[in-house]
A and B are shown apart, each in its own frame.
Chain A
Amino acid sequence: MNTTDFRGVQPNLFGPRFQRMSQEEMVDILEPHFPVLHDSVMGPWEELVEYRTNDKNFIDMKEGDCAVWLTMQSQIRARSLLDGKPGFHLFDQHQKLVIVIEEKIAVTIKKLTYRQRKAADRPRLERSNYSTPRNVKFWDQRRDSGIPDYPRVILGYELLKEITEVRLVIAYSRSQGKHVDWAYVMPPQPSLVPVGFTPQLAPVPMDDRHDDLDKKRFSISKADTSEQAAGGEVEGTR
């Protein structure tokens, strides 16, 4: 069955739907968990920025490549942060992580993009996955066997400014199309790493063959012609 067949069929044939949830209701449930949800995506995003700054192999990644990497790593991060935590239940739905929060909402991590279908349309925030029947049911908030039996929401990220910035949103979809009904931009969150925390690293053997000038830019000493009091050295740092 393809998408066009699907859209022509009477909606109630696909089983009952969850009640529509407003942005306020959804945010009320999720807000206490914003820091951990934020960190699930922003941690891997910061790593991706770091890799793209220092590793040539990450430079020629297109938007889709970055999204594949970021979604996969965000799921791994979410698993490590949330597995076994009270209030969270994690399971895989067709190789995608679904995070059930407080037995009330199922959260999925996805890339979202503003798209303009026709010149006269306003750009809308959309998912970009292929519309399989099960996928359509999932995002149309339908209840069915094999689908988590909770209202679903997207923990979405938008890749902005030539993939140099990211914006996190909570988005709600309740239609057979790919666009979302509403999206709430997640405000900046405090880091989960405690302030003042310093990771303890194992000592790394250092190459100390070079002289002092390799470790500093230059050294300064008193010039011979000076009539001032004798002075030592002030070292420039790297």
Chain B
Amino acid sequence: MNKINPEMIVLGRELRGLTQAELATGVSLNQATISRYESGAVEVPDEHIRTIAEFLGRPKSFFRWPDQLYGASCMYHRKNRRLSVAELTVIHAKVNLLRIQASRLLKQAKVTSKYSFYRMDQAKLGSPEECARRQRQLWQMPSGPARNVVSSIERAGGMVFRCPFGETRVDGVSQWPLDAPNMPPIFFVHEDIPGDRERLTLSHEVGHVVMHHMPTEGDLEDEANRFAAEFLMPADEIKDELRNLTLPKAAALKSYWKVSMQALIVHAHRLGSITDNQYQYLFRQLSTRGYRTCEPCPIPPEEPEMFKDVVEFHQKKLRWGMSDLSEFLGESEENFRDKYGRNFSNFRLVG
């Protein structure tokens, strides 16, 4: 049997949003002991791991997983600047758990896709916009709006999760670890954001994973934004349509291109289709009408299928029961049932 992996104790604790002191109180130990267990300085006795597992709502086997956690440096975020470190820690923990669960499931199931993800050298290609154009070519996307960004990612073997990030101000996170060549890029997107924002967030994250594997001197977030804008609204096709932009026209373009009115106005300004004054006027109009927080013409979110299908493959083809799968994914049966729906034969992924 594998040894206890101290990183899994950290992960279990962070998934619950607890500090070491709070975990110590919960399991009637002192904080220094928890600290030593988490640093791997001492072996964790079996009775303590049982108590910790019960308190954190995880099976004991979860703490023996050999997986490695990735920190913020391996992840890209589309987030609000006011996000606190504690909130970000919980999100990283959720992301790490889902990545590990996916990698465990993919050891049993092989996913074949028509297209692939490639790491691009932005310095050679010249600009994020050129990378986006190449990406559309590689995935053989037809001209016009990207019909379904989630589908494009899954067709290239990427995995998308809609995650319950709660009230936090993170829209999306992505990971494509360099040291795990068999692991596809994984994208996590807030489950409560509207479809237009989901599409922009995912395109932004695609920009990160294909362009930012090497340190660059540029502003990574700005580059990912430019990639996303070109990926969703190719300049050659949309530039003329963005002239004489008004809010009703932006609303009509929104339903056609499936991007927010705000993104269209920003893109129009960046492409020089509207002047600084028009840009400021349109944003003032958006604010006056309350569209900065709730735009008209909502775009429905796009649903990922891959993770759900991989779980279903284990259930239907490999004949795994609920207890096998919940144990395998490091969830209590109760948690597993909550996540995948009460009717196991027709479960629903909620995060």
Contacts and interface: CB of A to CB of B under 8 A. Distances in A.
Per DSSP, are chain A's interface residues mostly helix, strand or loop, or mixed?
loop
A63 B248 contact: yes
B83 interface: no
B249 interface: yes
A223 B106 contact: yes
Contacts of A217: 113, 151, 154-155, 305-306
Contacts of A61: 252
B114 to A, nearest CB: 4
A54 B107 CA distance: 41
B305 to A, nearest CB: 5
A59 B112 contact: no
B319 A229 contact: yes
Contact of A231 (B111, B306, B309, B317): B317
A186 interface: no
A52 interface: yes
Contact of A234 (B241, B249, B296, B313): B313
A205 interface: no
B194 to A, nearest CB: 14
Given A60-B249, A213-B113, A213-B155, 6 more contacts: A217-B154, A218-B309, A219-B111, A223-B109, A234-B316, A235-B309
Interface string A212-237: 01100111111111101101111111
Q: Which of A58, A220, A236 has the most CB of B within 10 A?
A: A220
B137 interface: no
B306 to A, nearest CB: 6
A209 interface: no
A213 B248 CA distance: 39
Interface string B91-124: 0000000000000001111111110000000000
B202 to A, nearest CB: 14
B305 A164 contact: no
Interface of B: 106-114, 151, 154-155, 157, 241, 247-253, 255-256, 261, 296-297, 305-306, 309-310, 312-313, 316-320
Given A60-B241, A234-B312, A237-B305, A161 B296 contact: yes
A129 B104 CA distance: 68
Contacts of A162: 247-248, 250-252, 261, 296-297
A165 interface: yes
Nearest to A210: B114
Contact of A164 (B111, B255, B318): B255
Nearest to B257: A59
Nearest to B297: A164
A220 B297 contact: no
Given A58-B252, A164-B251, A226-B107, A214 B114 contact: yes
B108 A226 contact: yes
A161 B114 contact: no
A238 interface: yes
A49 interface: yes
Nearest to B299: A53
A228 B318 contact: yes
B309 A49 contact: no
Contact of B154 (A54, A218, A226): A218
B112 A219 contact: yes
A122 interface: no
Contacts of A163: 248, 251-252
A56 interface: yes
B318 A231 contact: yes
Contacts of B261: 162
A211 to B, nearest CB: 8
15 contacts: A56-B241, A56-B256, A58-B252, A59-B241, A162-B297, A164-B251, A164-B297, A218-B111, A218-B157, A220-B109, A220-B112, A226-B107, A229-B318, A234-B312, A236-B154
B320 to A, nearest CB: 8
A231 to B, nearest CB: 3
A218 B112 contact: yes
A62 interface: yes
Contact of A223 (B110, B155, B250, B309): B110
A161 B285 CA distance: 12
